[in-house]
Amino acid sequence: MLSQPLMEKLLAMRWQGMIEGLKTQEQDRAIHELSFLERLSLLVDQQWNWRENQALARRLKAAKLKGPACMEDIDYRTARGLDKSVVRALAKDSAWVRNHENIFVIGPCGVGKSFLASALAQKACRDGHSALYLRAAALLRELALARADGSLRHLLARLSRIEVLVIDDWAMTPLNESERREVWEICEDRYQTRSTVLTSQLPVSRWHEQIGDPTIADGILDRLVHNAHRIEMRGESMRKNRNPPRDPSPE
């Protein structure tokens, strides 16, 4: 059995993976056929995997993604205009995040825009990147509160550090003067250094009028549209398909 002092030292160093690996080796008679270096290599691998899993769990918790979305669960059978090769190319190694590219997911209500955006962000977290999901209305509320209590600089700085910022339901309502200036700052801070995922029911051509001020709108869209991938979805709401109306009672 593992000695108590050894256990305490491993716990103090947060080497939980190695503790689990040692317990597994204690119960495996065949482990004695391996050399010391082979056994040590297994322990190091288990500790590494444990730390990676812990870090992933922290990233996913901080991301606050909408539901348990993941790339493996994307439905390509429903006719929504999704190109499997395009989506899978984006998901592969999350290269778009490393290249600081943006993604626009556009389409009518209920076709799965939020799920796809969250799945892309979840894959980015699995590939070692930080992410945060926010509905556009919630983001604007946070900006207003930060503006009121004097913490706006801190909030903008925090948003600028997030590698993948998902803004859901973008351009649903016109922006007021303060909102468009703060959105411009967010876009300016992230331009060519971070990635932003926007979902919207409106086509990109309508975003300019929703932002409002022509000069600021030009600045925001120039920073967003540059180097962006567009995924345009179509079709009926999938919610209708998942929750069909009950048949009327037989007459």
pTM: 0.82
- Give the residue carrying structure tokens 């925001």: 220
User: Lowest-pLDDT range, 51-55, 62-66, 116-120, 194-198?
Assistant: 51-55
Query: Residue 6: its pLDDT value, please?
Result: 79
**What is the number of alpha carbons within 13 Å of residue 144 lying toward its C-beta?**
10
- Residue pLDDT, tens place only, 82-114: 888 999 999 888 999 999 999 999 999 988 999
Query: Residue 71: its pLDDT value, please?
Result: 92
pLDDT beyond 70 at 239 = no
- Residue pLDDT, tens place only, 3-57: 778 778 888 888 888 888 888 888 888 888 888 888 888 888 888 888 888 899 9
Query: Residue 225: its pLDDT value, please?
Result: 92
- Residue pLDDT, tens place only, 197-235: 999 999 999 999 999 989 999 999 999 998 899 999 988
Query: Residue 244: its pLDDT value, please?
Result: 46
Amino acid 244 reads: P
Measured CA to CA, the distance from residue 10 to residue 46 in angstroms comes to 13
Query: Residue 45: its pLDDT value, please?
Result: 87
Measured CA to CA, the distance from residue 15 to residue 19 in angstroms comes to 7
pLDDT beyond 90 at 163 = yes
| Mean pLDDT calculated for residue range 138-153 | 96
Domains and CATH numbers, the chain: 4-62 (no CATH), 64-239 (3.40.50.300)
Q: In which band, very low, low, confident or very high, does the pLDDT at 174 lie, cut at 50, 70 and 90?
A: very high
Measured CA to CA, the distance from residue 129 to residue 122 in angstroms comes to 9
Contact 40, 31 (CB under 8 A): no
Query: Residue 246: its pLDDT value, please?
Result: 43
Contact 191, 223 (CB under 8 A): yes
Measured CA to CA, the distance from residue 120 to residue 69 in angstroms comes to 9
pLDDT beyond 50 at 169 = yes
Contact 235, 81 (CB under 8 A): yes
| Mean pLDDT calculated for residue range 56-81 | 90
Sheet of 131-135, strands arranged across? 131-135, 164-168, 195-200, 102-106, 228-232
Alpha-helix runs per DSSP H in 14-108: 16-26, 36-63, 84-91, 95-98
Contact 82, 230 (CB under 8 A): no
Measured CA to CA, the distance from residue 22 to residue 130 in angstroms comes to 32
pLDDT beyond 90 at 151 = yes
